[in-house]
Amino acid sequence: MSTAEAGADLRPSLAANPYTPAELIERLGLAGSAEVRAAAATNPSAAPGLLTELAVDADDAVRRYVAGNASCPPQPLAKLADDEIAQIRVEVAASPAAPAGVIEKLASDADKSVRAAVAGNPRCPRPRLLELATDPEARVRHCVLQNAEAAPDALASAYDPDDFMSRLFLARNPAAAVVSLEVLVNDPDIPIRLAVARNRLASPVLLRRLARDADETVQTAALRHPSCPRPLVIHAASLNDQALRRAVAGNPMCPPAELYQLAADSAAAVRRAAAGNPSVPGTAASLLAGDANAGVRAALAGNPSVPSPLIAALASDDETRVRHRIAFNGTAGPALLAQLAYDGEPNVRAGIARHRAAAAATHRHLLADPAASVIESLAFGSRHEDVLAALAG
């Protein structure tokens, strides 16, 4: 089946593909339907002139996607900040590209959802964020508590210790003060303690306490955290508790000796966690490559840290899901991807069709693929101009 016979309209995928040449994106964006224009409006590679034109499109969805595009120039964003549709102003308010003056203006918008978006924008000026921290709407104050760039005074003003959601959002925020997390680690509600355990800046001292929490979900989250004290990780690896062993098997800071031990664990779930660990040692990876459980091999096949000879061996695995994971492994090489382009399963070939490391010759071969899903994936993910031109017709 040729690309012309594939059946699906490829223009939206081509217009959204960041590797599509700017000239083709513009041609599609100016001549296409609302769906195609909306796809072009999302593309970070769209030319400033095209985004400026689409910012005044009659279709609300098109303008909304322009407002949410991080590559949108300041002038159209300033215009969209006055749009009558609140959701469009929300996108502008949350945009990392929004000029400071636009953010300042939207901080006093009549719509609470717009003010909430400003409150959650890491680029919100400190004085405005401090004002929003005392906004009468809880939704706005909650967004301040989720802002990873919020200053301590803004977080303190927005925080209400009697409000569950306030405690939850502060517990998740890496900007939260250590003293605040020290209080929340003793919170009576499990989701709060769990949020602290998952906070990427949680200290080893707090994680030590959480690893001994009465709730197992909190324990496992703490043991999976890269900052969890090493002695606790080593100890948990030898416990007669599958959930705890699985947690440390997925911890990227788990020592090599313990990871090798966990790679031979009797529980498939533990071995699967070890197989997906970016720090899995080569000896453990070799062991896992021959695992009888297809889920374990699939986890290994998708691990970008696994040595290429093992990934190449897994490319011949009988299980489709194993080969499928290789097709989405960012470190798979061009030669291996070329081999998988002849795989009998369409979902494997579709993964190759959007893989950034696939050679032009591989994607040209897939232009004649009989599966529409493969052709659609080429349109959405190929980085080769001649392939994209052929798809555009």
The set of residues, in sequence order, having a beta carbon less than 8 Å from that of 148 and lying 6+ positions away, is: 122, 173, 174, 175
Give the model confidence (pLDDT) of 236-250 as tens digits: 999 999 999 999 999
Give the model confidence (pLDDT) of 74-128 as tens digits: 999 999 999 999 999 999 999 999 999 999 999 999 999 999 999 999 999 999 9
Alpha carbon 186 to its chain's center? 30
Give the pLDDT confidence score for residue 31 in this predicted structure.
85
DSSP state of 265: -
Tokens in use for 173? 């925020």
Is the pTM value of this prediction over 0.85? Answer: yes
Q: Which residues of the chain have pLDDT under 50?
A: 1-2, 4, 6
Give the pLDDT confidence score for residue 105 in this predicted structure.
97
Q: Which ranges of 216-319 would DSSP assign to H, the alpha helix?
A: 216-224, 230-236, 242-249, 256-263, 268-275, 282-289, 294-301, 308-314
Give the pLDDT confidence score for residue 5 in this predicted structure.
52
Size of the chain in residues: 393
Give the pLDDT confidence score for residue 2 in this predicted structure.
47
User: Could you identify the residue written with the tokens 């994607």?
Assistant: 363
Give the pLDDT confidence score for residue 7 in this predicted structure.
52
